[in-house]
Amino acid sequence: QKEVEQNSGPLSVPEGAIASLNCTYSDRGSQSFFWYRQYSGKSPELIMSIYSNGDKEDGRFTAQLNKASQYVSLLIRDSQPSDSATYLCAAPRSNDYKLSFGAGTTVTVRA
Amino acid sequence: DAMVIQNPRYQVTQFGKPVTLSCSQTLNHNVMYWYQQKSSQAPKLLFHYYDKDFNNEADTPDNFQSRRPNTSFCFLDIRSPGLGDAAMYLCATSRALAGTETDTQYFGPGTRLTVL
């Protein structure tokens, strides 16, 4: 079982719609969770971090964490063509604190 | 602005010719990481430094070495690059290895390595 798994995508949404990205993790000891956005040929850029159960909102982005279900999600509201990218979910392993990354979900926002 | 800087952004080398990639940070973070990322794959951790303490991943080839002469700088040396080493090399930093909101990793822009 992979430590961090993401819905494989690719995900295509129309401009203005909500894009929903899902991530599950296997290490119950993980305490922090991150969403990175990566444009093609560029490096990962942190867009959200979440540490507590519930929702965390930042502009058009909302991260949701459910530790009981070992589930993290990212919602992108009012999707824009500039949101087209690969989104990486990541969580540190509890035994050595190194980041485990999901395989990424590629999002395309159609104009 | 505090940031993570990588040089060069693009590096072309010949098969077997040593190459050094550099990373600097103005965040004053304790931890610096080197990742390798190939197309359509997640970043793969090669090694990290916590201050001067070096931690090598078990599956990192001996061909890859790293140096951290001071808090701000870290280097990745590839002693004899092979065609399979062509990739994006990412440097990242964090304040700590773990802990509430101190383990967030910030990535530099990356160095794209081409091996001819």
Tokens of B108: 């530099």
In degrees rounded to 5, what are phi and psi of residue A82?
A: -70, -10
> Which residues in A lie closer than 8 A to residue B109 (C-beta atoms)?
42-43
Closest partner residue to B107 among A31, A41, A44, by Cβ? A44
| DSSP E strands, B18-94 | 19-25, 31-37, 44-50, 53-56, 64-67, 73-78, 87-94
Average pLDDT over residues A58-78: 96
What is the pLDDT, as a whole number, of residue B103? 80
User: Nearest-CA distance from A5 to chain B in Å?
Assistant: 11
Count CB neighbours of A3 within 10 A: 17
Q: What confidence tens digit (pLDDT) does each residue in A4-25 have?
A: 999 767 999 999 999 999 999 9
Tokens of B17: 């010719």
> Which residues in B lie closer than 8 A to residue A33 (C-beta atoms)?
none
Contact criterion met (CB below 8 Å) for A22 and A6: yes
β B111-115/B10-13 pair status:
parallel
* Residue A94 or B23, more confident: B23
Q: What confidence tens digit (pLDDT) does each residue in B38-71 have?
A: 998 999 999 999 999 999 999 999 999 999 999 9
Closest partner residue to B103 among A32, A101, A102, by Cβ? A32
